[in-house]
Amino acid sequence: MTKNAQWTFQVDGAVCKWQWADGGPDITRLESVRNPTSTEYSRHVPVHAYSTTMKRVLPLESGLEFELALCLDRRSDVECLVPQPCRITSSEGVRHVPDLLEGRLDGTVTVWDARPMERQDAGFLSLAALSQKACDAVGWAYRVFDGLARIESQNLRWVSGYRRAPEWIEGARTTLAELLIDGAAIGDVLDSDDQDGHMTTAMWHLIWAGDVSVDFSCPWSKNTQIRWNGAPK
């Protein structure tokens, strides 16, 4: 099953070539097989992003990887995110390190590369084909992320600043649920807030967490409609 590609992982500090005879590795124990670096000739600048899924900072290699990580980090069904998760080596000796591994609670695993469309040249497409074939052989998925639309990206980066739940989130959750259950506007929350900004901060965090739904594809204003999407605790 794996004769056409060799997988290399790092588990608990040890690099190992995985044989797959007894299944895949425990993805929650995987570590990056390389650390992002930058030189004066590098196209990318390493990024360090806090992940609410992993409860730690992830070392990423570019702003596009950061955007991908933010998209996945918001999902409640994502269990694990691992940057530079493995090395895939073809039978001809061609090697590729994908950008991110995503593991979901249902056992689904997806290997990601982040590459803008304008840089998906023949060399990259060849590596993507290698990764796709290797993932297909072991029952994993492979996808390429080419970025979000500008407005969606800006909105995502805004709410990512509210990833950490504020101390007062539980009380604010119940109040916001009552206010937003039939739909309201962002301005309604701003107008209902006190001078401490507790409700506003809670609103942005709950948008990040998915409890409050909003259209990410349009510019946000006080008139933007939002709706309660979760369950008060």
Question: For residues 148 and 128, is the Cβ–Cβ distance under 8 A?
Answer: no
> What would the mean pLDDT of 83-89 be, rounded to a whole number?
97
Strand partners, 89: 6, 95
Residue 211 tokens, joined: 């409890």
Predicted pLDDT at 168: 92
What are the strands, taking DSSP E only, across 84-193?
87-90, 95-96, 100-104, 109-114, 141-145, 184-185
Indicate the pairing of strand 87-90 with strand 95-96. antiparallel
- For 99, phi and psi rounded to 5 degrees? -85, -35
Cα–Cα distance, 56 to 51 (Å, whole number): 6
Is residue 195 predicted with pLDDT exceeding 80? no
Is residue 213 predicted with pLDDT exceeding 80? yes
Minimal CA–CA distance to 169: which of 202, 131, 145, 130? 202
225's enclosing H/E stretch is strand 225-228
Q: What is the pTM of this model?
A: 0.89
- Please give the C-alpha separations between residue 124 and each of 28, 74, 120, 138, 144, in angstroms, as whole numbers: 28, 28, 6, 21, 11
Which residue's structure tokens are 């590459």? 115
Predicted pLDDT at 233: 40
Q: Quick: pLDDT tens for 19-55.
A: 998 899 999 999 999 876 555 455 556 788 899 999 9
